[in-house]
Structure 1
Amino acid sequence: MQRPAFSAVAELLKPITWFPPMWAFGCGVVASGLPAEGRWPLIIAGVLLAGPFVCATSQAVNDWFDRHVDAINEPQRPIPSGRMPGQWGLYIAVIWTLLSLLLAWQLGRAGFLAAVFGLLLAWAYSAPPLRLKRNGWWGNAACGLCYEGLAWITGAAVMAMGQWPDGRSVALALAYSLGAHGIMTLNDFKSIEGDRQMGIDSLPVMLGVSGAAWVACIVMVAPQVVVALLLWHWGQGWHGLGVAGLLLVQLLLMKRFLALPRERATWYSANGVTLYVLGMLLSAFALRAATT
């Protein structure tokens, strides 16, 4: 049986998408307030689990079950282009799922359960019968929770040797998960034609380009306002002002994005989202300062 080239496998797993959950895991580590000494093997394993394993699995699963949509939107992708022959896309998705579980087992009960939940979300997002991505509200919520909140909480739990994180850490993780819903919407602008033809109700399909752009911005802004206020309430006013400052710059970028949302979605993803994740790290350091 013909096997795919290594380059096709790497493209299928989309390394560029690994950054958000790896970053969020790191934020959870910082927010825990616990020293890294003696925990570096767990931290490294957790970062690898969040990115090259669980996130990569979600990309493989999505590419396999989206192969007909990609044939319209991105025919150059490994599966529709034929560079990933036969059912190799599915085989890799299953293999990476098992490898992820094997690595997660080394992180203790908390890390393993978090990985199981993340992998279930990854399959539920793309695979029938649930295929959550058929509805932009549910699908983007699942992605935001998996990529940001779950990874953050896992990082904090691994640092605490399996104990549930502080309630403030969970609150920040959930807030940034909600904001990530908007980030996921930005990614949907590039696939409107295929989504519409294949019956996938992404927000740009349901609400139109302008409506989806406004929703994405509002959903990203609101949680950051809440985070800034929470940090102020917790006695970390300077950190809260920092988050607010980063948000102000995002608002300026959003004004330009909203003028031509479809054409500038990728541009905003590269610039505005960078400021968003910097705010995540700043809020994690604020929580660390509040707990030490």
Structure 2
Amino acid sequence: MGDMITTSEQQIPLAKRIRAHIELADPITWISPAMICICGALASGTATGFQWWNGAHWGLILLGALMTGPLGTGFSQSINDYYDREIDAINDPTRPIPAGLVSLNGARANWFFLGFATFLVSLIFKDAMITALAVFGIILSVLYSMPPIKFKKNYLLGPPAVGIGYVTVSWMVGHIIFAPITWQSITVAMINGGLTAGMLVLNDIKSVEGDRQHGLKSLAVAIGVQPALLVAYTIINLCEILFLVLAVMWGNYWVAAFIAFAVIAPIYSQIKLYNDASHKNFMRYLIATNPFVALIQIVSAFLVGGYFG
């Protein structure tokens, strides 16, 4: 496909162009990986890892959050918008590329800058594992979005790729900045990645029509909306139950009780969404679930870091 933008970027006011380039990197998506990177730092523990009273440590973790959030995740979103421009023209025509606010050349420059900046920031830590994780995240983002591989086209590959790239990698980066990674931290990072994969299966439901037209085989396209909801619920609840089991095994019963409540609380909105997969019920479910998901991720970091005794 050629450059679908006929209006030159130079004809658009500078402030509007800057906003469009920021929007291309989708700032709302930066929050979760940046927060997860901080969770990984907390999981390193205060004895030999992250020390919340140490100003230099806060500088390092904010740099890690910058790398995994605005830069790394921004790269992922920008390159995804570039390769999904035809789908966005149907599902979300207000996005910067289909709206004509960013040309294809401008979009390529956007994601190249963000990817290169991610790599450069990783070098500041002077740790080969952090740089390797940053490069792995960049490659995973490319494979997720770029044809012909395009993990996003396959429901067996797309959600796990996002869970690993956004969450597992970000968590491990945060931990490794301050201390060698532990098996407990890797386990929790993987479960959190699975939780995110389940949320992505759920999220794909809202774009099922555009995905179907352009051959993106999301789970909702492959098996239908209601069966896909059941799969998403199962993945999300199973990951939360695994956290509950870990909390019990590690003797933190009040954490286990909180996670049990987090599993039970959204059940009503799950049923409502299953019976009527409308946008209103979808948003209600997200409102009921997302705060618990975020709290579980934070609590799991404190659990691994030994903050609960």
| TM, length-normalised to structure 1 | 0.94
Alignment partner of 1:93 out of 98, 106, 111: 111
1:69 and 1:194 in contact (8 A); partners too: yes
**Count of matched residue pairs:** 289
The one-character-per-residue Cα deviations of 1:176-211 (angstroms, maximum 9, x if unpaired) are 111211111122122111111111001110111101
Deviation, 1:290, is 6.4
Give the corresponding residue for 1:133: 152
Higher mean alpha-carbon deviation, 259-268 vs 278-287, is at: 259-268
Indicate the RMSD between aligned Cα atoms, in angstroms: 1.7
Distance in 2 (alpha carbons) for counterparts of 1:33 and 1:139: 32
Deviation, 1:291, is 8.7
5+ residue gaps, structure 2: 1-7
Give the corresponding residue for 1:52: 70
* Percent identical residues: 30
Structure 1 residues 234-253: aligned runs within 5 Å: 234-253=250-269
Distance in 2 (alpha carbons) for counterparts of 1:251 and 1:149: 26
Distance in 1 (alpha carbons) for counterparts of 2:308 and 2:287: 32
2:75 and 2:115 in contact (8 A); partners too: yes
Distance in 2 (alpha carbons) for counterparts of 1:64 and 1:55: 14
Letter in 1 for 2:250: W
Give the corresponding residue for 1:218: 234
Instruction: Say which SS state the counterpart of residue 33 (structure 1) adopts.
Output: coil
The one-character-per-residue Cα deviations of 1:62-104 (angstroms, maximum 9, x if unpaired) are 0000001111111111101111124211221111100111111
Alignment partner of 2:283 out of 245, 266, 272: 266
Distance in 1 (alpha carbons) for counterparts of 2:296 and 2:275: 25
Give the corresponding residue for 1:23: 35
Distance in 2 (alpha carbons) for counterparts of 1:14 and 1:218: 28
Letter in 2 for 1:114: L
Give the corresponding residue for 1:13: 25
1:257 and 1:268 in contact (8 A); partners too: yes
- Which has the higher Rg, Structure 1 or Structure 2? 2
Letter in 1 for 2:118: S
Instruction: Say which SS state the counterpart of residue 177 (structure 2) adopts.
Output: helix
Give the corresponding residue for 2:292: 275
1:60 and 1:89 in contact (8 A); partners too: yes
Letter in 1 for 2:78: A
Letter in 2 for 1:46: G
Structure 1 residues 158-197: aligned runs within 5 Å: 158-160=177-179, 163=180, 165-197=181-213
The one-character-per-residue Cα deviations of 1:130-164 (angstroms, maximum 9, x if unpaired) are 1100102201110011111111111111121xx2x
Higher mean alpha-carbon deviation, 1-10 vs 226-235, is at: 1-10
1:235 and 1:290 in contact (8 A); partners too: no
| TM, length-normalised to structure 2 | 0.89
Moved over 3 A (4+): 1-4
Letter in 1 for 2:261: G
Deviation, 1:11, is 1.2
